[in-house]
Amino acid sequence: MKADKFSVTEAAELYSIPNWSGGWFRVNDDGEMEVTPSPGLSVVIKDVVDELVERGESMPFILRFPQVLAGRVKQLNESFHKAIDEYNYKGAYQGVFPIKVNQRRLVVESIAQAGYQYAHGLEAGSKAELALCLAQKMHPDALLCCNGFKDDGFIKLALWGRSLGKNVVITIEKFSELERILKQARALGVKPAIGVRFKLHARGSGQWEESGGDQAKFGLNAYELLQVVERLKEENMLDSLVMLHTHIGSQITDIRRIKVAVREATQTYAGLMAAGASLKYLNIGGGLGVDYDGSKTTFYASTNYTLAEYAADVVYTVQEVCKARQVAEPTIISESGRALTAHHSVLIVPVVDVTGPTRNLQDIPPASEDTHQIVKDLEDVLENITTRNYREMYNDAVGDKQTLHNLFDLGYVSLPDRARGEALFNAILRKVAKMVSGEKYVPDELEDLQKVLADKYICNFSLFQSLPDNWAIQALFPIIPLSRLDEKPTRQATLVDITCDSDGKIEKFIDLRDVRATLPLHEPGDEPYYLGIFLAGAYQDVLGSAHNLFGKVSEAHVTVRSGGRYHIDLFVRGQKARRMIESMGYEEGMLRESIEDQADEAIKEGWLTDQQEVEMLEDYGEELLGYTYLEYEEI
Ligand SMILES: *Cc1c(COP(=O)(O)O)cnc(C)c1O
C-alpha cells in the first residue's frame, strides 16, 4: 500500500541524486537506489542487502564496488589523456594513488589492477604503507612515491624497491633527509631517484587550506631547494633528482586556487631546470575534490569544477609556463586519492527506532487541584494560538517552559505539574508545526523549530567508526533511503547512532544551497528501512575509531553483471567483540576465567544454579565471538 504517490523524479531532485552521484548511482522507476558502474550495468542496492540479510549476516555493512574504483581510475587517466591530446602537450600524465586515503586490500588491489594499463602508481607515506605498496604488482614505469618524514629504515626499504625494478622515488620533505638518503644509497650501492617537495606560497581553499603556504608542515623553501641541487652536483648525482613535488591540501573547492598553485609549481620546476637539474616529473599532489553536495560551488563540501576541467586546466597551465620558460614539458603526476575512492562504497545502516517530540506519549496528563499558574499560562497559549498570532504565542510558550523548569528546580512546581506543562508545550509545538508547514517562508525566529520538532531516527552504526569526518570536521555525505523513493517522505529527521556519546548524531545534510538541518525520510513501516550513506569511500575506513568498542563493520565486495545481476565476490565479517576487547590489552582467557570464578562463587552463595552457570557461560562466549553492533530479534 503506497500512500501519497510521488514521482521518482521528485525524489531524485529532493535528494540531489544526479548532482552528486557522478553517474555511479541513480534511482530506478520502482523508487530504489541502483549502482551503475557503467552505462549498461546496474543493480538494485537493496537486492544485495536483502540477500546478505537472508544469509544471516548482521548489519551495518559496507558494500564496495570494485568496478566503480576501476571506472574512476579510467576517468581520471582518460581525462588527462584527452587534455594532453587537445593541447598537443608533449609530456605525459601518470597518476599515483596515495594509499593513506584507503589502504583496504580491495581498494589498493583494484586501483593497481585498473591502473596497470595507465602506469598508474602508488604513494606511501610511512614504512608500513611502503611495505604494503612494494608487494603490489605494478607497471614497470608506474611510480611508487615515498612521501612523509623518513628514517633510515624507510629510506632503505625504498632503495631496495629500486633494486626490485620498481620506479621508487623518495621525496625529500625536509632538508636533512637528503644526507640520510645519500648515506643509505652509498651503503646499499643503489642509485636513488629523488623528488623534492616544495612549499608553495599558494594555498588551497576549503578545509585543508593550511596544508599549503609558507607555514606548511612539509616541504623545502626556495633556498633549500637550490641547496639540494648544489649538494647533488657536488656528489655528481644531480641526475638522481627527478621530481618536483607539491601539495596544497585535500578537497580544493576552487579551480582558480589549483591553477595558481600549478603555475607556481611549474615556475619552480623551470627554475630548477635553469639551475642545472634534469627533472622529469612534475607532481601536483592531491586536492582533486569530490562534489559531495552536488552544488558545483566553492562550498567546502563541493567543488566548482569537474574532473575534465581539472585535467584541462592543469595541462594548459603547465604547458603555458613551460612554453614561456622554454623548458621541456614534464610528465605530470597527480596524487588523487579522494577523487578515486569516494564513490566506490556505500555504508548501509538500518533504522532501528524513531523517537522525537511529536512521537513521545502525546496525551496531556490531567490538571491537579492546585495546578501552578505557569501551567495554566501554557494551557491558555494552547487554547488561544491561531495562524494569526502563532509567532508571538510560540515565543510566550518558550518563555513559559523556561520558567516552568526554573520553578521546578526551586521546588515550586511539582513533578505532575512539570509533566503536564511539558506535554502542553509539546502540543503547542505540534500546532505551530502544522501552521508553519503551509507557509513558504518560515520566520527567522522559528527557524530552529524544524530541528526541535524533527524525529530522531536511531541508526545501527557508530559515527566514530564509520563516518569520522562528519564528527571531526562536519564533512557532509549524501544520505538516501535505499527504497520507497516513489513515495513522498513525510517525516523530517536527524540521525543518531548507537554510541553512548551525544556527539554521535548527524544534524547536517547536503543541500544545493548551504546545508539542511533535517533529512526528509519515510515513516518506517513493517518492512526494514535502510539508509545508504554514499561517497564515504575516502578516508573514513582508516580514520574510524573504536569508540564504545564498536568495531570495523562487515563488508561485501560486489561485482555488477549484466541483466541486473550481481555477484558477491567476498564477504568479510566485521570485528568481533573479543578483538575489540583484546585490542585494549585484555586477553580472552583472562575474561572467561574471571567470569567462571565469579560464577563458582555465585553458586556457593546460592545466586546461580549449575544449569544457569552453563547457560550464562554459553551466552558470554557467544557475545565474545559476536558482532559489536545491535542484533535485534523480533519482540
Ligand atoms: C593526503 C595526500 C594526498 C591525497 O589528497 P586527495 O585530496 O585525497 O587526493 C596527496 N598527496 C599528499 C602529499 C597527501 O598528503
pLDDT tens-digit series, residues 596-616:
999 999 999 999 999 999 999
Give me ligand 1 centre to Cα 306, in Å: 18
Atom of ligand 1 nearest to the CA of 285: 11
Contact of 292 with 535, CB cutoff 8 Å: yes
More confident residue, 449 or 77: 77
Q: Is the pLDDT of residue 2 over 60?
A: no
Atom of ligand 1 nearest to the CA of 245: 13
pLDDT digits (tens, 9 = 90+) for 545-570: 999 999 999 999 999 999 999 999 99
Say what the pLDDT of residue 614 is: 95
Q: Which region, left, alpha or beta, applies to residue 184 given φ > 0 means left and ψ of -120 to 50 means alpha?
A: alpha
Q: Which of 3-12, 19-28, 242-251 has the lowest mean pLDDT?
A: 3-12
Say what the pLDDT of residue 452 is: 80
Element holding 145 (H helix, E strand): strand 143-146
Residue 249 near ligand 1, beta carbon < 6 Å:
no
Averaged pLDDT for residues 134-153: 96
Q: Is the pLDDT of residue 1 over 50?
A: no
Which residue from 15, 69, 64 is spatially nearest to 38, judged by alpha carbons?
Answer: 69
Say what the pLDDT of residue 337 is: 98
Atom of ligand 1 nearest to the CA of 339: 9
Atom of ligand 1 nearest to the CA of 125: 15
Fold of 361-450: Methane Monooxygenase Hydroxylase; Chain G, domain 1 (1.20.58)
Say what the pLDDT of residue 216 is: 79
pTM as predicted: 0.93
Residue reference for cell 568481533? 576
From 335, 336, 340, 469, the mutation candidate for ligand 1 (largest count of ligand atoms within 8 A of CB) is 335
pLDDT digits (tens, 9 = 90+) for 570-582: 999 999 999 999 9
Q: Is the pLDDT of residue 33 over 80?
A: yes
Residue 204 near ligand 1, beta carbon < 6 Å:
no
Q: How many CB atoms lie within 10 A of CB 105?
A: 11
Residue 494 near ligand 1, beta carbon < 6 Å:
no
Q: In sequence order, what DSSP letters do the residues of 371-419 get, joined into one string?
A: --HHHHHHHHHHHH--TTTHHHHHHHHHHHHHHHHHHHHTTSS-HHHHH
More confident residue, 516 or 211: 516
What are residue 124's DSSP bridge partners?
A: 146
Give me ligand 1 centre to Cα 123, in Å: 9
Per-domain boundaries in the chain: 88-341, 361-450, 591-624
Give me ligand 1 centre to Cα 94, in Å: 15
More confident residue, 361 or 88: 88
Give me ligand 1 centre to Cα 535, in Å: 17
Residue 100 near ligand 1, beta carbon < 6 Å:
yes
* Atom 5 of ligand 1, residue of closest alpha carbon: 286
Residue reference for cell 508545550? 425
Output the CATH code of domain 88-341. 3.20.20.10
From 211, 250, 543, the mutation candidate for ligand 1 (largest count of ligand atoms within 8 A of CB) is 250
Which residue from 138, 136, 156 is spatially nearest to 146, judged by alpha carbons?
Answer: 156
Residue 247 near ligand 1, beta carbon < 6 Å:
yes
Mean residue pLDDT of the chain comes to 94
Report the relative pairing of strands 566-572 and 554-560 from DSSP bridges.
antiparallel
| R_g over Cα of the chain | 30
Instruction: Kindly give the interhelix angle for 307-325 and 66-87, rounded to the nearest 10 degrees.
Output: 40
Averaged pLDDT for residues 160-186: 97
Residues 312, 316, 321: CA angle, nearest 5 degrees: 155
Residue 254 near ligand 1, beta carbon < 6 Å:
no
Q: Is the pLDDT of residue 91 over 70?
A: yes
Q: Is the pLDDT of residue 215 over 80?
A: no
Say what the pLDDT of residue 356 is: 87
Contact of 103 with 112, CB cutoff 8 Å: no
Say what the pLDDT of residue 249 is: 92
More confident residue, 213 or 251: 251
Atom of ligand 1 nearest to the CA of 289: 7
Give me ligand 1 centre to Cα 526, in Å: 45
Say what the pLDDT of residue 4 is: 58
Q: In sequence order, what DSSP letters do the residues of 527-589 get, joined into one string?
A: S--EEEE-S--SSHHHH---GGG--PPEEEEEEE-GGG-EEEEEEE---BHHHHHHTTT--HH
Rounded to the nearest 10°, the torsion over CA 143, 144, 150, 156 is -110
Residue 337 near ligand 1, beta carbon < 6 Å:
yes
pLDDT digits (tens, 9 = 90+) for 338-354: 999 999 999 999 999 99
Say what the pLDDT of residue 57 is: 95
Distances (CA, A) of 274 to 118, 169, 229: 30, 22, 11
Q: What is the 3-state secondary structure (H, E, C) of 104-144?
A: CHHHHHHHHHHHHHHCCEEEECCHHHHHHHHCCCCCCCCEE
